[in-house]
């Protein structure tokens, strides 16, 4: 599994493996597109604060559940 590092302003989405593993492959989560606004490390794990689909509120998301849009999406 290739580890990716994302940066603030990267455009991301949930990765296919995460959606399939959680049973969300055919839900609205497939259409979520987000922009990273902050990078946080909590207990040595990397999380990203993401604004989804141009919403006003951001959400903290674990890095392993994401993939970058428009670049190498191997995670």
Q: How confident is residue 12, by pLDDT bands cut at 50, 70 and 90? A: very high
Query: pLDDT (tens digit, 9 = 90+) per residue, 41-74?
Result: 999 899 999 999 877 888 899 988 899 987 554 4
Query: pLDDT (tens digit, 9 = 90+) per residue, 15-49?
Result: 888 888 887 766 676 778 999 999 999 998 999 99
| pLDDT value at residue 50 | 95
Asked if the structure places residue 4 within a domain, the reply is no
- When divided into structural domains, the chain yields a total of 1
Asked if the structure places residue 28 within a domain, the reply is yes
Return the HEC string of the chain: CCCCCCCCCCEEEECHHHHHHCCCCCCHHHHCCEEEEEEEEECCEEEEEEEECCCCCEEEEEHHHEEECCCCCCC
Strand partners, 46: 41
| Rg of the Cα atoms in the chain | 12
Asked if the structure places residue 46 within a domain, the reply is yes
């Amino acid at each position: 599994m290739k580890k990716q590092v994302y940066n603030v302003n990267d455009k991301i989405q949930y990765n296919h493996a995460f959606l399939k593993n959680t049973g969300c492959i055919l839900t609205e989560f497939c259409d979520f597109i987000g922009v990273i606004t902050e990078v946080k490390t909590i207990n040595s794990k990397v999380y990203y604060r993401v604004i989804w689909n141009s919403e006003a509120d951001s959400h903290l998301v674990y890095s392993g559940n994401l993939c970058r849009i428009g670049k190498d999406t191997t995670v």
